[in-house]
A and B are shown apart, each in its own frame.
Chain A
């Protein structure tokens, strides 16, 4: 029976801060694989939702189920071990560690302990995938912003986590870097992982998502394929306000 439970199920989640509702009675199901984009105006509660799922915040009401298992009140490290990986909007890398070390820290966190040789192999292959193998032994603080973004991505994908939460991973990337990013996200989905990402660039959303969830003022307004969502006039009005 557990097999049939969806990868991630949010049931009636609510969270407020000092009377302001950041997330308001939100329910959502995330499929086993594919790319889901969370879109919505600033302050819609997207990052708060990530913090709730990953255990950094505890919801006032509602439940979070991962493969049928209740993870609502687990501390962040246990959520991570249950198979959820995330990135942060402001990256939050370990600045005094090298690129290699930043990623290595992440792959030792699982219950299975790897030998240093295997860690090294795993990290190097992940670094190659994000195009940072040449920068392996550089301190993260000395990298460019785009390179740092790929370190944070590498840190999130190095473990075999089924659910990846990426908080504005493409913001600030352009040209080749953006293209590489698209390709990595698609290949993650092809591996059978489920990617949930917060994204503002609508071209990116259109280009890589299988489905889109639209949030406004902590509520889920609509879900659908990118084509369906972008066809809705009233959502565009919400998103772009009167500018359009």
Chain B
């Protein structure tokens, strides 16, 4: 039971890293990407190959994954940024499908459908990370670091420009900023962070196969960002926690296991549509609304008391 809870928390932490990094592209950059699982996968395969053939150093794995993940990000962004707005989603979908095909078919490197197995535990400063507890600590620390980095980034001059880009692209370009360049950097950065999650995933599960990096996974990451609140710092981690923990709660309903997945996704789809109609800022938007209401109610109570 403890290990179940620990693994649930580890997956939540991974989801937080993935959702926060996707938020850079989707929430702040205004680019609708459904290829994020590709970068997760690139990170995971990079770490696995490294650990199987060269070194299981966590630091080295993360550095290499950042490089390969960033390159994969550019591979998506360079063609995809030639079309505007909504069409980015199709380019990213195309990219996801091509990447899935490669993960499945390039047997020599990815091990094909069977994937790569027997990945040794990672080592960090001479310690082996081989217990659930150790994984939980490392993953949580990195998730916290990613949240801090994203928050700092959005306060920096880069984040300022990115928010300005979302507000008015033409005005920004009239100030001498190259919008395409800004988006390119955003996608690459986001891919780098996602690939770090991939490294942690590979070492935690000790095997990787294409199943974990499919279009469905990408869509789930997007659902996390949207439900939590795109373009906010706290929305994506909230959404990530919700999407990871909700199925565990759903399992108490004692539904047949074949129905669990569809029921979950049906719920997400309905929630997404309703949120977009009534509260596009997601859970964070709902929380803000509750707080505003409380302030107003307090205000009314206060003035009533004053009147009495």
Within 8 Å by CB, do A and B touch in the complex?
yes
Interface residues of A (CB under 8 A from B): 54, 56, 75-77, 80-81, 85-86, 88, 92-97, 101-102, 104-106, 108-110, 116, 119, 155, 159
B171 CB contact (under 8 Å) in A81, A94, A108: A94
In the complex, what's the smallest C-beta–C-beta distance from B254 to chain A, in angstroms?
A: 46
Contact A116 B157 (CB under 8 A): yes
Interchain nearest-CB distance for B33 vs A (Å):
21
- CA A76 – CA B172 in complex, angstroms? 9
Give B23 Cβ to nearest chain A Cβ, in Å: 16
Which of A108, A110, A119, A159 has its CB near the most chain B CB atoms (within 10 A)? A108
Query: Are A108 and B168 closer than 8 Å at their CB atoms?
Result: no
Q: Return chain B residues, CB-CB under 8 Å to A95.
A: 167
Whether the pair B168, A92 counts as a contact (CB closer than 8 A) is yes
Asked if B178 lies at the interface with its beta carbon under 8 angstroms from chain A, I say yes
Known pairs A95-B167, A96-B167; A108 contacts B174 (CB<8 A): no
Q: Is the CB of B167 within 8 A of A97?
A: yes
Write the B137-179 contact mask toward A (1 if CB under 8 angstroms, else 0). Answer: 0000000000000000000110011011011101111111111
**Chain B: residues with CB nearer than 8 A to chain A?**
156-157, 160-161, 163-164, 166-168, 170-179
How many angstroms from the CA of A94 to the CA of B160 in the assembled complex? 10
Whether B164 contacts A75 by the Cβ 8 Å rule is no
* Nearest opposing residue in chain A for B172, CB measure: A105
**Taking the nearest CB of chain B, how far is it from the CB of A206, in angstroms?**
29
Jot down 5 A-B pairs with beta carbons below 8 A, ordered by A: A54-B174, A76-B173, A101-B160, A105-B175, A110-B176
A92 to B164, CA, bound (A): 11
Q: Decide if B174 touches A86 in the complex (CB within 8 Å).
A: yes
B174 to chain A, nearest CB (A): 5
Specify the main secondary structure of chain B where it touches its partner: helix
Scoring A56, A95, A101 by chain B CB atoms within 10 A of each residue's CB, the highest score goes to A101
Pairwise interchain contact B171-A80, C-beta atoms closer than 8 A = no
Q: How far is the CB of B123 from chain A (nearest CB, A)?
A: 38
Q: B157 touching A108 by the CB < 8 A rule?
A: yes
Find chain A residues with CB under 8 A from B176 CB. 77, 80-81, 106, 109-110, 159
Q: How far is the CB of A101 from chain B (nearest CB, A)?
A: 5
Q: How far is the CB of A197 from chain B (nearest CB, A)?
A: 16
Besides A77-B178, A119-B157, 11 other CB < 8 A contacts?
Answer: A76-B173, A77-B177, A77-B179, A93-B171, A94-B168, A97-B167, A101-B163, A105-B161, A108-B177, A116-B156, A116-B157
Q: Which residue of B lies closest to A103 (CB)?
A: B175
Cα A39 to Cα B88 in complex, Å, equals 42
A178 to B167, CA, bound (A): 28
Q: B73 → chain A, closest Cβ, in Å?
A: 22
Closest to B156 in A: A116
Closest to B182 in A: A77
Which residue in B156, B163, B170, B177 is a CB contact (below 8 Å) of A109?
B177
Q: Which residues of B contact A85 (CB under 8 A)?
A: 174-175
Contact between B175 and A109, CB atoms less than 8 A apart: yes
- Shortest beta-carbon distance from B37 to chain A in Å: 30
Contacts of B157 in A (CB 8 A): 104-105, 108, 116, 119
| Chain A residues near B171 (CB-CB < 8 A) | 88, 92-94
**In the bound complex, do residue A92 and residue B175 qualify as a contact, i.e. CB atoms below 8 Å apart?**
no
Contact A80 B175 (CB under 8 A): yes
Task: Determine if B160 and A105 form an interchain contact, defined as CB atoms under 8 angstroms apart.
Answer: yes
Tell me the complex Cα distance, A106–B167, Å: 14
Q: How far is the CB of B172 from chain A (nearest CB, A)?
A: 7
A102 contacts across to B, CB distance below 8 A: 164
Given known A105-B160, A108-B157, contact A94–B167 (CB-CB < 8 A): yes
CA distance A54 to B170 in the complex (A): 11
In the complex, which residues of chain A have a beta carbon less than 8 angstroms from the beta carbon of B164? 94, 97, 101-102, 105
Does A76 contact B170, Cβ atoms closer than 8 Å? yes
Nearest CB on A from B235, distance (A): 15
Chain B nearest CB, measured from A112 CB (Å): 11
The 3 closest A-B pairs by CB, nearest first: A109-B176, A80-B176, A94-B167
Find the residue from A77, A97, A155 having the highest chain B CB count within 10 A. Answer: A77
What is the chain A residue whose CB lies nearest that of B167?
A: A94
Chain B: which residue is nearest A152 at the CB level?
B171
